[in-house]
Every structure is written in C-alpha cells, then in structure tokens.
C-alpha cells in the first residue's frame, strides 16, 4: 500500500526512542531477563562472541509506527477483497510504501478522512480493552490516563452507554474528556481519585477500571483496586508497575486482566502472517473486525478523533516530530503526512534500489561479486562480515522491508541496496548470490541463481523436501550444459572450524571404523515459531540438525549408508536421536535435545577410534585421550568456522577450482537430514 498518513503512537514510540538513546547499563536494567540470557551465553560461548552477538542485536534498526492509512498498490497472489486504489488502514510502519498482511487491514468508509482513519489501530487497542471489561449499559467505569488511547476509550465507553470517570494530571486532556462526556479528576491538583470514584459510584464502588496510563508506579493498580466494587474488573491496556497487594484483590474478589493489543489474532502467525481467519461464530471480534468496528463508529459519528490531532508534520520533517515526542512540550495526536501522487509519482515511490555513498575505503574488487539476499541478524552478525573479510566485492544487499538492507549496506560498505530480489539475480555485475532468508525460499532461490549462471552460497538448509533437491540437481545439470557449472555451497561452517580441521587430520592416522557422538543442547523453541513450521522452516532437524549430520559425514569421510531416528515424543522435532551408518562401518549418533539447561554448552562431539578418544566442547576446548603427540587444543574464543567457510567459497570462485564441499555430498547430507526428520515424526 502507498501511505497517505501515519499516526505517531506517542507512548509506545517514546518508550522505544528512550530505550534506543539509553546507555548499555540502562538498557540492561530495563531488560533483566535478557541480561540473564547474556550471562548464560557468556559462560558457554565465551566473552567476545557473546558481546559481539549482543552489540549486533542492539545495532539492528527497528522501524517505528503501526498506524497507517493509504491506498492499495498491489495485491498478493490469491488474495480477494481488495484491488489497487482501494483505501485501507493497516498496522504498517512509517514509510511511503509498506507490505502488510491481509488480516491486519480494513477498508476505510468513504466519509472517513485519511487523518481520521490513521487513528484506527489505536482505536482498536482501546476497543479491545473495553471488550475485556465487558461493560453493560449504565455501568460506571474509570479510565486512568487520558492520552490518545484513554480519550478514545472514554468516547467508546460513552457510546456503549456507560458513565465514565477520567483521571489524569493534564488539565487540557481532562477538559477534552469532559467534552466527550466524562466526569474528571485532576490528580495533579491534589484531587483524591478514590474518594471521587466512591462519590461517582454512589458509594458502591465502580464496576470497572481501564488503565491506559504509562508509568512505572504501582499506584494506578492500587487505586484501581480501592475504587472497585466487590467483584469489580480491572483491565490494563497501558503499562504500570505490577507489584500487587493481595489484600486489595482478595477481599473484593477482583478480576484483573492485561489486554493484548488490537484483539484476538495478535501475535498468532497463523492469523497474521498466513491469513487464516478465526471463524466468526466462535471468535466474533478479531483484530481485523475490531479495526472495522472502530471505522464504523468514526463513520457514524460516535467516535470523533479530529479533536485529538495536535500536530502535523511532513514525513521529511519526521525528526522534528520525534523531538516533540521526546521533549516536554505538550502534544497528543501527531500525524505524519506523505507526498501525493501528483507530487511524487507511484513509480518513484516504488523505486526499489538505492545506490549508496561510496565508503571511505575503496570497495573490494575480488572475483566474487556478491548479491546478498536477506539482511537479518545472522547475516549482519556473521555472514556479511565473513564475506567482507574474505575480500569479496559487496555489490548489493536485498531485504524485504528495506530498513535492514539499508542499514547493512551502509554499515558494511555495499554499493547498493534493494527490495527487488529478482533484480539481484538479473544484475550482470553480480556473479555470486548469498541466500540468508527463511528456509522455504532457499531451494527456489538456489535454482534461480543457477539458471542465471551465478555461483550460490545458501545458508542451511539447501531444501526442505526431496523433490526440491531433484529440482536443484536438474538446474545445476542445465547450467553445466552451458559451460562450467556454478559452485553451489551450503553454509556448513563447522567442518571449517580450526579444531575440526585438526581433528580431521588426526583421524587420518587412525585406521578402521570410528564412532561419533554429537550432543546438541539445542534449547526449546515455541511450537508456533516459524522454524517449527514444516512448510516454512522445515522443523528443527531439517533447519539446524543438518549442520551436525554434515559434520559427522565430513569426519567419517565416507558415504552415509543408513539413517535411523527416534523422537522422545510423538511428532516431536525438538528432542531426537539420529543414528547414522557409513560405508566403512563407522557409526555416528546425533543427540539433538531441546530439554536441557541453557547453562550447559550447546555442542559437544566425542570421537572414538583405534583405542583413542577426542572430545571437542563447544568449539573452544578440545582434549585428546591416548593420541600420540596430541593432548589438547584450546582456543581463547569460540570459532565455529564461519569466516573460514566463506573464505574457502570465495577462494574457489577466484581460482576456478572445485567447490569446498562436493555438490554430491551436499545432496547426500540433505537427503539424510530429510529422511531423519521424517523418521522422527513417525517414530512413535
């Protein structure tokens, strides 16, 4: 959609801006749970890798905004209900053009202006809080905090037939609430909100309290409990301290609930990302239907947001808007305005590539001219730096939203950035594609790169299904018919780690079959995470377990002849033991476990061969038992071989040599991995 207006959510966006400006110590104080995660990672992975991961995560830009209105430019394949030119609202970011999922949109009525419609998402947040309170006609409800959401809440409650008491410190907001039909209490003037609520409710206590304030104080919760009648309801829409007094709630049997954003469907990937709606007979009010209800009330005049507009800024002056948000000057509804088609044609808005300023140092002119597809956390923390250190030319970086790609382009010295992924494959100045996207896109992009005659490095896995492997083989065979086949490489970096290289050299001196035990303390991931989706992430064995199957294949140096797998629970892809057999009689087991402690090292490999043992702990400490002239190889910092892996790939392109990992071996490992995942799903 092409954006016409966006609304600054002052509370949320001020919080994010303040967090961004905070120093490291203050950031740590605000996120104690993240500090514990960092401490656990430091104990297992070491100080420097942990700090690098933390700083890279904090360095990632975060697009702001979630209240967007504009016109449809293009509709996704198979979607119905919208056509180009339709006016819609969405939770899109502050941007001239955004791509939004269909269940987070709603059509704007003709008599609702773009400025009014920009308040829809905030209105849905207020409406969801009211739905949780379940008010009935004539009930008394207190609204604590009369910011944008609080003032919308007042209007919606009045439209519902409720008597409303509004609390705030700001006289102007109190006066606005009074005009919307509420009685008000000026806390800043010393008025007693509890006494006022008792009088307002005729001494019975109010029926409900909706807290829309943003404060670290516990006082709003304490006051809400004191205001309520027996079995009253309290709903938290904003953010407050939550050190609750048991006596406050116990004696009155109060109900307390935290409202989740726009309504049912929020944070459910099946609803938001995949577009699967909830049946209206079972879930009457989803977040999309809440959007529609808010727009209906704007259309018939029951919700008036025009008085809430305090400032308007052109998008080019957005920095001034955020100075206002962060400062002490009074503000309420801050709208950002975007150029019209007459000022800026659609073609210019849809421009998907940006040439970046040349870095101070001249860009590398190596044989590998890289087009990066994907600029997420792993790409920016590991892959892009590795290819840059390897001397590759960083030609362009593509990202779906544009923000992360622009950030990566500037940070690492790319020559351009784009959201036109297909254009990267067509770019004649790019001879090498690096794929770091979600797993379900890997196979098709590998084929696309091969058809374009380009070398390709794909983050694991290369494919999710066997038929995708056959397509890749066919694409590579077709490319070979036209000349030398491009190099295909999967990011199996562990076989390039320095300790693994040493281990491999030691095994050359050990005759006979060998035994390998790979223990992976993988940690739990929620079932709804995209990596767990068989069609998107492939599940954890296909998505990550392939690393360890490849490592054992590399150390064995022999073809995989048998695969068995057993999961701890039916259909589990998290806690699995995989047994591999090799052509020389060697055996290997991968214990991929999600039921361990984060304080235990993530990866350990043990090799038994010819009366000798080697143990490698988390790519930091390697110990030999019974090996002539070898007892240990310890590293100051963890090294899983990412830089060496990228360098080997780039060197192969420069020299015109063979792929660092034979193509047939990549296919073999992928087939074994897919087979192991299938066996695990049917093992019980």
DSSP codes of every residue in 518-564: EEEE-----TTSGGG-TTTT--HIIIIIHHHHHHHHHHHTS-EEEEE
Compute the distance between CA of residue 118 and CA of residue 68 in angstroms, rounded to an integer.
6
Q: From residue 463, how far is each of 400, 440, 489, 625, 682 by CA, in Å? A: 21, 7, 12, 38, 20
Which two three-digit tokens encode residue 77?
């394949």
- pLDDT for the residue numbered 84: 94
- pLDDT for the residue numbered 642: 96
**Is the model's pLDDT at 625 over the cut of 70?**
yes
53-58 — which CB contacts under 8 Å span 24+ positions?
A: 53/381, 56/377, 56/380, 56/381, 57/377, 57/381, 58/27
**Is the model's pLDDT at 648 over the cut of 60?**
yes
**Is the model's pLDDT at 664 over the cut of 90?**
yes
Neighbour-count burial for 6-17, b at 16+ CB within 10 Å, e otherwise: bbbbbbbbbeeb
Residue of 505 and 351 predicted with greater confidence = 505
Strand residue runs (E) in 228-332 = 228-236, 255-258, 309-314
Q: Which residues pair with 140 in a beta bridge?
A: 163
Degrees to nearest 5, angle at CA 652 with 649 and 657: 145
Q: 361: pLDDT confidence band, cut at 50, 70 and 90?
A: low
Tens-place pLDDT, residues 517-555: 999 999 988 888 889 888 999 999 999 999 999 999 999
Q: Which residue from 104, 471, 48 is spatially nearest to 277, judged by alpha carbons?
A: 104
- pLDDT for the residue numbered 570: 57
Lowest average pLDDT, out of 94-98, 212-216, 596-600, 651-655, goes to 596-600
Q: Which residue from 282, 303, 280, 414 is spatially nearest to 353, judged by alpha carbons?
A: 414
Q: What is the pTM of this model?
A: 0.85
CATH superfamily of 493-681: Dihydrodipicolinate Reductase; domain 2 (3.30.360.10)
**Is the model's pLDDT at 337 over the cut of 60?**
yes
475-478 — which CB contacts under 8 Å span 24+ positions?
A: 475/446, 475/447, 475/450, 475/451, 476/450, 476/663, 478/450, 478/451
Compute the distance between CA of residue 490 and CA of residue 212 in angstroms, rounded to an integer.
50
**Where is 176: in which H helix or E strand?**
helix 171-179
Tens-place pLDDT, residues 254-283: 999 999 999 999 999 899 988 999 999 999
CB count within 10 Å of CB 593 equals 18
Question: Which of 408-412, 576-580, 633-637 has the highest average model confidence (pLDDT)?
Answer: 576-580
Compute the distance between CA of residue 420 and CA of residue 490 in angstroms, rounded to an integer.
23
- pLDDT for the residue numbered 37: 75
Q: 176: pLDDT confidence band, cut at 50, 70 and 90?
A: very high
Q: Please report how many Cα atoms fall inside a 13 Å half-sphere around the Cα of residue 217, on the Cβ side.
A: 11
Lowest average pLDDT, out of 214-218, 354-358, 556-560, 564-568, goes to 354-358
**Is the model's pLDDT at 80 over the cut of 90?**
no
- In the chain, CATH 3.40.50.720 sits at 121-268, 353-490
Lowest average pLDDT, out of 277-281, 353-357, 382-386, goes to 353-357
Which two three-digit tokens encode residue 497?
């780690």
Burial degree of 615 (CB within 10 A; 0-12, 13-18, 19+): middle
End-to-end CA distance of the chain: 47
Tens-place pLDDT, residues 532-542: 888 999 999 99
Q: What is the DSSP letter of 610?
A: T
**Is the model's pLDDT at 169 over the cut of 90?**
yes
Report, as an integer, the average pLDDT of 633-640: 93
Degrees to nearest 5, angle at CA 558 with 552 and 564: 60
Q: 235: pLDDT confidence band, cut at 50, 70 and 90?
A: very high
Residue of 354 and 95 predicted with greater confidence = 95
Compute the distance between CA of residue 496 and CA of residue 134 in angstroms, rounded to an integer.
60
**Is the model's pLDDT at 53 over the cut of 90?**
no
CATH code for residues 2-119+305-337 = 3.90.180
Q: 157: pLDDT confidence band, cut at 50, 70 and 90?
A: very high
State what percent of residues in the chain have pLDDT above 90.
77
Compute the distance between CA of residue 183 and CA of residue 203 in angstroms, rounded to an integer.
16
Q: Which residue from 440, 441, 428 is spatially nearest to 373, judged by alpha carbons?
A: 441
Report, as an integer, the average pLDDT of 562-589: 90
- pLDDT for the residue numbered 504: 96
Tens-place pLDDT, residues 460-510: 999 999 999 999 999 999 999 988 789 999 999 999 999 999 999 999 988
Q: What's the CA dihedral at 77, 82, 85, 88 to 10 degrees?
A: -120
Tens-place pLDDT, residues 8-48: 988 788 777 777 777 767 777 777 777 777 777 776 667 77
Which CATH number, 3.40.50.720, 3.40.50.1110, 3.90.1150.10, 3.40.50.180, labels domain 353-490? 3.40.50.720
Q: 571: pLDDT confidence band, cut at 50, 70 and 90?
A: low
Compute the distance between CA of residue 599 and CA of residue 481 in angstroms, rounded to an integer.
52
Report, as an integer, the average pLDDT of 297-316: 96
DSSP characters over 177-228: HHHTT-EEEEGGGT--HHHHHHHHTTTS-EEEEEE--B-S-SHHHHHHHHHE
Q: What's the CA dihedral at 165, 167, 171, 177 to 10 degrees?
A: -40
- The mean predicted confidence, pLDDT, of the chain is 92
Residue at token pair 């948000």: 325
Which CATH number, 3.30.70.1450, 3.10.450.50, 3.30.70.20, 3.40.50.720, labels domain 121-268? 3.40.50.720
**Is the model's pLDDT at 675 over the cut of 60?**
yes
């Amino acid at each position: 959609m092409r954006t016409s207006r966006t609304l600054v959510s002052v509370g949320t966006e001020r919080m994010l801006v303040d967090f961004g400006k905070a120093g490291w110590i203050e950031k740590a104080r605000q996120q104690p749970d993240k500090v514990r995660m960092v401490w656990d990672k430091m104990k297992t992975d070491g100080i420097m890798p942990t700090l690098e991961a933390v700083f890279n995560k904090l360095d990632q830009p975060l697009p702001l905004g979630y209240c967007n209105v504009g016109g449809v430019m293009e509709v996704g394949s198979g979607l119905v209900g919208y056509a180009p030119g339709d006016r819609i609202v969405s939770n899109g970011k502050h941007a001239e053009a955004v791509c939004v999922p269909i269940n987070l949109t709603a059509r704007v009525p003709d008599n609702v202006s773009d400025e009014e419609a920009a308040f829809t998402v905030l209105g849905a947040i207020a409406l969801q809080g009211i739905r949780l309170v379940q008010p009935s006609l004539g009930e008394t409800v207190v609204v604590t905090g009369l910011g944008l959401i609080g003032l919308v809440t007042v209007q919606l409650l009045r439209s519902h037939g409720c008597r409303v008491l509004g609390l705030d410190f700001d006289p102007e907001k109190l006066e606005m609430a009074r005009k919307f039909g509420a009685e008000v209490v000026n806390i800043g003037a010393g008025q007693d909100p509890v006494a006022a609520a008792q009088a307002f409710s005729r001494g019975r206590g109010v029926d409900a309290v909706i807290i829309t304030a943003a404060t670290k104080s516990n006082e709003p919760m304490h006051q809400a409990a004191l205001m309520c009648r027996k079995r009253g309801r309290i709903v938290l829409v904003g953010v407050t301290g939550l050190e609750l007094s048991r006596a406050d709630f116990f004696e009155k049997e109060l109900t307390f609930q935290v409202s989740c954003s726009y309504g049912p469907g929020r944070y459910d990937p099946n609803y938001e990302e995949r577009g699967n709606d909830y049946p209206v007979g079972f879930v009457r009010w989803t977040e999309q239907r809440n959007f529609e209800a808010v727009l209906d009330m704007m259309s018939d005049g029951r919700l008036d947001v025009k008085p809430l507009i305090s400032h308007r800024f052109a998008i080019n002056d957005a920095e001034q808007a955020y100075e206002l948000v962060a400062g002490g000057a009074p503000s309420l509804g801050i709208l950002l305005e975007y150029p019209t088609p007459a000022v800026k044609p659609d073609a210019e808005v849809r421009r998907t590539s940006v040439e970046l300023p040349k870095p101070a140092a001249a860009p590398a002119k190596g044989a590998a001219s890289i087009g990066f597809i994907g600029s997420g956390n792993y790409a920016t923390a590991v892959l892009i730096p590795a290819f840059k250190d390897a001397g590759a030319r960083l030609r362009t970086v593509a990202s779906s939203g544009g923000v992360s790609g622009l950030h990566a382009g500037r940070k690492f010295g790319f020559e351009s950035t784009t959201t036109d992924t297909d254009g990267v494959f067509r770019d004649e100045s790019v001879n090498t594609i690096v794929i770091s996207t979600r797993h379900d896109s890997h196979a098709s992009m590998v084929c696309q790169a091969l058809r374009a005659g380009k070398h390709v490095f794909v983050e694991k896995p290369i494919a999710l299904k066997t038929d995708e492997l056959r397509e890749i083989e066919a694409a590579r065979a077709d490319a070979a018919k036209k000349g030398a086949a491009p190099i295909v490489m999967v990011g199996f970096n562990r076989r390039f780690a320095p300790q693994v290289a040493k281990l491999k050299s030691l095994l050359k001196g050990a005759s006979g079959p060998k035994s390998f035990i790979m223990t992976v303390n993988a940690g739990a991931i929620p079932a709804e995470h995209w990596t767990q989706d068989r069609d998107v992430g492939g599940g954890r064995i296909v998505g990550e377990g392939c690393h360890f199957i490849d490592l054992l294949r590399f150390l064995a140096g022999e073809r995989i002849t048998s695969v068995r797998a057993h999961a701890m629970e039916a259909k589990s892809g998290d806690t699995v033991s995989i047994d591999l057999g090799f052509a020389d009689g060697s055996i290997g087991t991968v214990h991929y476990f999600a039921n361990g402690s984060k304080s235990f090292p993530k990866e350990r490999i043990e090799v038994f061969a010819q009366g000798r043992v080697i143990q490698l702990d988390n790519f930091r400490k390697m110990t030999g038992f019974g090996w002539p002239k070898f007892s240990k190889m310890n590293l100051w910092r963890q090294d899983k071989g990412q830089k060496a892996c990228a360098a080997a790939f780039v060197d192969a392109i420069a020299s015109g040599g063979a792929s660092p990992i034979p193509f047939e071996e990549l296919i073999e490992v992928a087939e074994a991995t897919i087979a192991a995942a299938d066996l695990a799903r049917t093992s019980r």
